[in-house]
Structures are given as C-alpha cells and as structure tokens.
Amino acid sequence: MQAFRVAVPESDLVDLRERLSRTRHTTATPGEAWAAGTPPEYLESLVEHWRNTFDWRAREEWLNSFPQFIAEISGRRVHFVHVKSASPDATPLIISHGWPYGYADMLPLVALLTDFDLVIPSLPGFNFSDAPAGPFTDETVAQTLHTLMTDVLGYHRYGTYGEDIGTAVSHSLAAQFPESVIGIFATHPAVPSEDNRANLSDREAAFLTRLSGMGWRDRLRRDPGDSTGHARGRAQ
C-alpha cells in the first residue's frame, strides 16, 4: 500500500481546453426544450464553463485534502480514501459509489460520519483504480473490496454503504462474507423477483407484503414527493 495524490499533468488540461474550443454545436430542434435532447445553448454554456471557468487545480487540491492510497490486489491497482475516526473503537465502513460518478461524490460524507473509520474506494475501472482483469461483476468487485478491508487494512468486521451499482456490491459483500459484514445500508435496495422468493424469512415476506399493500409503484407515478427521498431524487 502506498500514499497517492491526484496530479493531472498541465498538458492534459491544455489539451482538454483546446478540444473544447473546437466543439461544433448543433442547432436546436423544433419543440419544447429538453423534449428532444439537450438544448444547444445549455450545452454551449457548459462547454464554455469547462473551458474558461472551471478551476481544476482548486478541485485537485480539495481531493488531495483527503488521505488517499493505492493497494495492489490480484495484480491490479485499487485506489481508495481512508479516513480514520478519532474514536479508538470506531466501526469500519466501506462506501461504494455508483455510476456514472465516482469516489469524489462520496467525500462529503466524511464530515458527517466522523464516528466511523471510512474507506471510500474507486471501484475497479473507475477513476484511479485499474480495470478488472476479467468481467466487472458484483461478486468479483465485492471480493476485491473484501480483500482491501481485511488483508490490506486489517479490518475483520465492517459495515457497508452503497448506492446505484455500489448497492449491488454491498449486497454481494454481505452475501459472500456474512461473517465480516456487520450491517448494510443501501439507497437502492434489491427486491427479489416473484420467481425468486422461495426462501424468504418471515420478516422479508412481511416486508414484501407491506410493499404490495401500499401500492408504492402507482403512488410514485402520481406523486414522487410522497415517497422516500431516494424515490423523489430518482423521479426528478
């Protein structure tokens, strides 16, 4: 394991600005804005912001304010943030991001979860982690992250948080390593299909019955704000 700092070469930033300056924008299609794609004027303002306004070096400095590391697992580089709590009895918590974003979107949680030892990896193939040697699956990513938590960092028991594809990874961590995962929190919980509900516990069956009785799909279509914060965010 070795320390890591984000350091994008200046030549890459110059190249990006040059390519943005050569963007050829289209004309607007008839009809209501956004109904047939991104309005050209919005895209033009976005490109202009990235070309002349966005301060990558300031963002890079912010990223580097968090302790970051690289570990080699099965011959592949895995990048992660590791922030230890001041509490000696802190519970380790691994946080898995979703798609199409990355670990940086999880960093605001650091200030909110000070009672935990936080591990925030870049999933394989994202940001500064190498792409997996084989297929990217929930199971293989979970195995990599479990190795990171146990063999690399020495945590034998830990909790998980995930969202989007990170939720699937968290589910797989709990399924494959129940002796290590002490708890799971997910913003996109997996609900088994009707063909895969033969071995549910009484509590799981009661939960699905409750969902069915609530008519949550229809209610979500009528009023996205009348559900959870997650549902509201997805509806928007």
CA distance 102 to 127: 7
* 26 Cβ contact partners less than 8 Å away, ≥ 6 residues apart: 40
Q: Quick check: bond before 124 cis, omega within 30?
A: no
Task: Give the CA dihedral 191, 195, 201, 202, nearest 10 degrees.
Answer: 90
Tens digits of pLDDT across the chain (236 residues): 999 999 999 999 999 999 999 999 988 888 888 888 889 999 999 999 999 999 999 999 999 999 999 999 999 999 999 999 999 899 999 999 988 889 999 999 999 999 999 999 999 999 999 998 888 888 999 999 999 999 999 999 999 999 888 989 999 999 999 999 999 988 876 666 677 777 888 888 887 787 776 554 444 444 444 333 333 333 32
* 31 torsion bin: left (phi>0), alpha (psi -120 to 50), beta (else): left
Full-model pTM: 0.77
Per-residue pLDDT at 224: 40
CB-based contact 118:149 (threshold 8 Å): no
Per-residue pLDDT at 191: 67
Could you give the C-alpha distances from 86 to 50, 116, 149, 157, in angstroms and in order? Answer: 38, 9, 19, 18
CATH of domain 1-9+47-190: 3.40.50.1820
Which tokens belong to 130? 């190498």
Residue 117 bridge partners (DSSP): 92
Per-residue pLDDT at 91: 96
| Domain locations along the chain | 1-9+47-190, 193-236
CA distance 118 to 90: 9
- For residue 70, the Cα-to-chain-centroid distance in whole angstroms is 18
Task: Give the CA dihedral 81, 83, 88, 91, nearest 10 degrees.
Answer: -60
